[in-house]
Amino acid sequence: MTNAIESEELTRVGPGTPMGELMRQYWIPAAMSSEVALKGDPLRLMLLGEKLIAFRDSSGRVGVMDHRCPHRCASLFFGRNEDGGIRCVYHGWQFDADGQCVDMPNLPADQDFKQKVRAKAYRVVERAGLIWVYMGTRAEAPPMPEIEATLLDAADVRLMFAQRECNWLQALEGDIDTSHFGFLHAGSIRPEEVGDDNMLKYQVGNRAPSYQVADTDWGTMYSAYRPAEEGKTYWRFAHFGFPFWTWVPQGDITDRVQARAWVPMDDTHTMFISLTWKNMAKPLPLKNGQLIPGQTALIDYQPASTDWYGRWRPVANAANDYQIDREAQRNDVIYTGITMIHMQDQAITESMGSIVDHGFEHLAPSDQMITRTRRRLLLAARALRDQGVVPPGVDAPEVYARARSGECVMPGDDWQAVYEARLKDVVRPLALRDAAE
């Protein structure tokens, strides 16, 4: 059970909080590169409880900084994106992408002190079609994480964003809870509806898997397993990676190059960011030629607005009960009555409340990965706070390359040995790209 003190430390991400300071040790994906246009309008960003703006200057550089002008605290969201940087409309002070003040036009030349004034700005890089921000205090930023999907060329990555109105941890924990798939997403599927070549048959034929969990250099991992034919085992491997990454197991491990970030906007809003390799195999249909009932490929979004929470909001939401179809639910057409796997997860995690009351939980053996991950996060955040211990993966970005999720059918009873053996035969798109070049 997670007590009240632990819950507070796990869920709060603002400046000075244990989890917030841990998050700030890492590079954080904050927006799609396409959201910030050359010399375009500033973009409001809420990140780890801080109100920021992002803009792309006339040279193409992206600046991410506190939205308040350091002169009189007027919001730079209303600023003019001019050559050389963002100009505050209150008194005309201009700041470059690094936050350095480069012009004070309301002062006589002999009173100008622009070289002494900086906006609070964060370091930025772009990779895999994303804008990444380092919000820590190191003089030199740490290396970028070597997460396989984030190392692909932007043209080879499929991105998906979706805002979730709840705490980051409860959103993330849905990805490391494998047994819910056989109910929430596939509860209306009978085993006889699934072809012999489709590994979904194991999940709907046995909805109560066994588990093994372990700490890793990048975070935690689990194996969920069930008996298969000819003395083999159906394995599902998945991971949590510091500080908010997940690798989910649905799909053949052979070519499952993907990663998901659950980026805290603040304590009660989370931005889900998914990266998948475009050449990854598509899910196999059921015998009737259809996919999982209610599945659709794309989220239907509300029109974007310029407020702090105005980006990537689904049309299906708590205000309309996620457009639940009670007839489809009643008739077992869609187990939940809610269309799309992502929206089914969204409805459930948001229904727990803005921040789940961990004291109300009754965790079960099927929640081993959740309890292990919470413990790993708490220990790392406290070690950083109390002893200055650098969290896992910050200075060893190569450890993330060992995280590959997915499912397979293989003989053996040592789950970690099976995982290592399977990794030897997976497709590595980076190697394919380098060979082609």
Q: What's the pLDDT band for 219 if we cut at 50, 70, 90? A: very high
pLDDT(297) > 80: no
Residue pair 23/14 in contact by the 8 Å Cβ criterion:
no
Instruction: Write out pLDDT tens, residues 167-180.
Output: 999 999 999 999 99
The structural domains of the chain, with segments of one domain joined by +, span 27-141, 154-436
Tell me: pLDDT of 316 over 80: yes
**Across-strand partners of 262?**
272
pLDDT of residue 89 exceeding 90, the answer is: yes
Burial class (CB in 10 A: 0-12, 13-18, 19+), 385: middle
Q: Is the pTM of this model over 0.95?
A: yes
Which whole number is the average pLDDT over 49-75?
A: 98
In one-letter notation, the amino acid at residue 238 is A
Q: For the residues 309-328, what does the mean pLDDT come to?
A: 98
Give the distance from CA 252 to its chain's centroid: 21
Buried-state track 239-275, b at ≥16 Cβ within 10 A, e below 16: bbbbbbbbbbbbbbbbbbbbbbbbbbbbbbbbbbbbb
pLDDT higher than 80, residue 11: yes
* pLDDT tens for each residue of 338-348: 999 999 999 99
Token digits for 421?
């053996």
For range 406-428, the mean pLDDT: 96
Long-range contacts of 414-422 (CB under 8 A, 24+ apart): 415/212, 415/223, 415/225, 415/235, 416/212, 416/214, 416/223, 418/223, 418/233, 418/235, 419/221, 419/223, 419/235, 419/237, 422/235, 422/237, 422/253
Q: Does pLDDT of 296 surpass 90?
A: no
What pLDDT, on a 0 to 100 scale, did the predictor assign at position 434? 85
CATH class of 27-141: mainly beta
Average pLDDT (339-368) is 97
The mean pLDDT of 293-297, rounded to a whole number, is 82
Across the range 48-53, mean pLDDT stands at 98
Neighbours of 140 (CB within 10 A): 7
Q: What is the pLDDT confidence band of residue 143, given thresholds at 50, 70 and 90?
A: very high
